Structure 1
């Protein structure tokens, strides 16, 4: 055993899967709560949103499906079960509250899929896996908030549902660098390929060029 973390994990977890042929982009829980300094969920993750919006624009240009997730609860949080009971800040996502709305600059387009959820994973208790499968998607590209919470849960479930899973580090954020980096490290080791914004933009551009070349004249 080596004391160096990277070398230790590299001995067992150094595989890279790569990308698929038919990706979909998922923006996980970019809610106003994380950008409101007066909210207890404030995380100062403007850079992550800016990155995700650039990737979203590229995905739309290339014809890559875009999914936005939102957390939403009825008054009192009855439909949030034990998660709502444990994580008190989830009260910010009760339907009708400003903090539950999408962050500034992120307005769902008519052709984008909006998934409403009550638990961490974008897949748990939703139709997302079936929707993506029906669309022929083989690669889920994840961006969102927070890295250690809903992004990680969605990553594990995406992989478990059989999708090649890609996490864009620049387009994910957390309230502190330590859980952010630790969870990116762990997801990259076991469940997904963690890539940069530049890498995913190059891949999306390649997808777009391929589809344009294959389009009828």
Structure 2
């Protein structure tokens, strides 16, 4: 048995459950900001494929009448609202208000009926109105896409589950600066916090919903 087979067998003893999709989902696109796509920026992660996948899922979600919410990271020009996260992660300076690196990634622009949640910390839920908004909308589950898998996607995943939302993470629609943290965090989220699903599974599910 290979080391990888042994790992899978070990985890399967304890973590081998899927919770499935909910009945009233929302799609969340986390931090698809220009810094991750600009090779001159230290945030660059080569994640064009993840954005392309997220845009396809978004199209399916809109066709099904599923709410779409985008998040970005925006700091006061003085970074007074950045706290310890800004202190620790130096590249966050690219998200000071007005920075071109904080603009939406290539081909992504919010529609008028899509909510934008601006945040200062990794989770889309921490310090924002997202949980209350989803609850008020009657949403029972979330489909997560975004950047980066090991950072803001993971943090949002844990908080989504903690707030009581069934959570699905769409593997191809998430990205990171290296495959190792990407795959490791997908593995861990799937074990403990969410169902990690393929783009095809997510689009097929959305196709079952009526607009």
Q: Scaled by the length of structure 2, what TM-score is found?
A: 0.97
User: Unpaired runs of 5+ in structure 2?
Assistant: none
- Name the counterpart of 2:172: 170
Q: CA deviation at 1:174?
A: 0.1
1:161 counterpart (131, 155, 163)? 163
The residue that corresponds to 1:196 in the other structure is 198
User: Alpha-carbon deviations, 1:193-213, whole Å to 9, x = none?
Assistant: 000000000000011xxx25x
What corresponds to 2:146 in structure 1?
144
* Separation of aligned partners in 2, 1:7 and 1:174: 26
Equivalenced residues, count: 208
Counterpart of 2:90 in structure 1 is: 88
Alpha-carbon distance, 1:72 to partner: 0.2
In 2, Cα distance between the equivalents of 1:133 and 1:75? 32
Displacement of 1:93 after TM fit?
0.4
Corresponding residue for 1:13? Answer: 15
Alpha-carbon separation, structure 2, partners of 1:161 and 1:116: 19
- Secondary structure (helix, strand or coil) at the match of 1:24 reads strand
Q: Hey, what's the Cα distance between the residues in 1 that align with 2:183 and 2:190?
A: 11
Write the deviation string for residues 139-193 of structure 1: whole angstroms up to 9, x where unpaired. 1100000000000000000000000000000000000000000000000000000
Aligned to 2:40: 38
In structure 2, distance between residues paired with 1:76 and 1:36: 24
| 2:110 aligned residue | 108
Indicate the RMSD between aligned Cα atoms, in angstroms. Answer: 1.0
**SS class of match (2:170):** strand
Q: What is the CA distance between 1:129 and its match in structure 2?
A: 0.2
